[in-house]
Amino acid sequence: MDCIIIDDEEMARTIVEQLAANNHDVDIVGSFSNAIEAIKYLNENEVELIFLDIHMPTFTGFDLIKTLKNPPKIILTTSDRNFAIEAFEYECIVDYYVKPFMQERFDKGIQKALSFGTNKNVEHAKATLNDVNVLYINIDRRLIKIDIPTIKIVEAKGDYILLKTDNKNYTVHSTLKKIEDKLPKDTFLKVHRSYVINTNKIIDIEDNSVLIEKDVIPVSRSNRPELMRRLNLL
């Protein structure tokens, strides 16, 4: 694979060059200390993989990715051990190395890059079919797509549930238990026998209730400890 390195630190570039020299699958065809120089090169040359430092002054690694129309595979390099998941919002990012890294870790990333092209389409297809952020509800024989993060409150109303989202409310023939099982457990919580709420939408909490926009939702005594555990309390 033809690769380039983009890192403002010469030591980091030297290390990647050395590790690449010991790996037969990669060939370093360019090494750049800033993103602008690299973009000029990329406008005239094709590469298969970029080793990209995220944290560069004035123009970050993420800025560079956004400027590329068809970015090649990218392995990010970073000194942040608590690396943000933001990286995987970009389809082209194959892996990331936390500096300093060794040959074994470097080689593992290269293997991922080599298999990335073949797996990508399958993974993408799977993700489309089984999008974890989406829920379909059946109303009048129509399946309506709901983006799960937009759901604020689910309220049990007899044989029905009232689903309140950022945009619209829906009444669906279902049970609270059924929908609770479909919602991600890290953001949704049953706070009362008749209510499941999206904890990200809470504005205010009192002793036995929470405020979500204009709705005051009761919190039962038995569910309160779990709610308090979930909150990022100061």
Partner 1 sequence: MDDVPNLDYICQLSQGDKDFMHKILQVVKKELPLEICTYNLHLAEEDFIMAAEDVHKLKHKISILGLEKGYHLAVDHEENLIKGNVSLKLDFDKILELMLRFIEKT
- By CB under 8 A, name the binding residues for partner 1: 8-12, 14-15, 18-19, 22, 55, 57, 79, 81, 99-100, 102-103
Give backbone dihedrals phi and psi of 117, rounded to 5 degrees, phi first. -60, -40
**Cα(199)–Cα(230) distance, rounded to whole angstroms?**
8
User: Smaller CB distance to partner 1: residue 19 or 49?
Assistant: 19
User: Smaller CB distance to partner 1: residue 63 or 147?
Assistant: 63
Least Å distance between CB 153 and partner 1? 36
HSE, side-chain direction, 13 A CA sphere, residue 40 = 6
Least Å distance between CB 35 and partner 1? 15
> Do 191 and 201 form a contact (C-beta atoms < 8 A)?
no
Least Å distance between CB 162 and partner 1? 44
Residue type, 10: E
Residue 54 in tokens: 């995220």
> Do 46 and 2 form a contact (C-beta atoms < 8 A)?
yes
User: Smaller CB distance to partner 1: residue 18 or 222?
Assistant: 18
Residue type, 26: V
Least Å distance between CB 10 and partner 1? 5
User: Smaller CB distance to partner 1: residue 104 or 181?
Assistant: 104
Least Å distance between CB 3 and partner 1? 18
User: Smaller CB distance to partner 1: residue 59 or 160?
Assistant: 59
**Cα(163)–Cα(154) distance, rounded to whole angstroms?**
5
Q: How far is CA 14 from CA 25, 29, 50, in A?
A: 18, 13, 15
List, in order, residues 6 or more apart from 148 with CB less than 8 Å away.
132, 133, 134, 135, 183, 184
Least Å distance between CB 113 and partner 1? 21
Least Å distance between CB 41 and partner 1? 22
**Cα(180)–Cα(198) distance, rounded to whole angstroms?**
11
User: Smaller CB distance to partner 1: residue 103 or 133?
Assistant: 103
User: Smaller CB distance to partner 1: residue 57 or 158?
Assistant: 57
List, in order, residues 6 or more apart from 231 with CB less than 8 Å away.
199, 202, 205
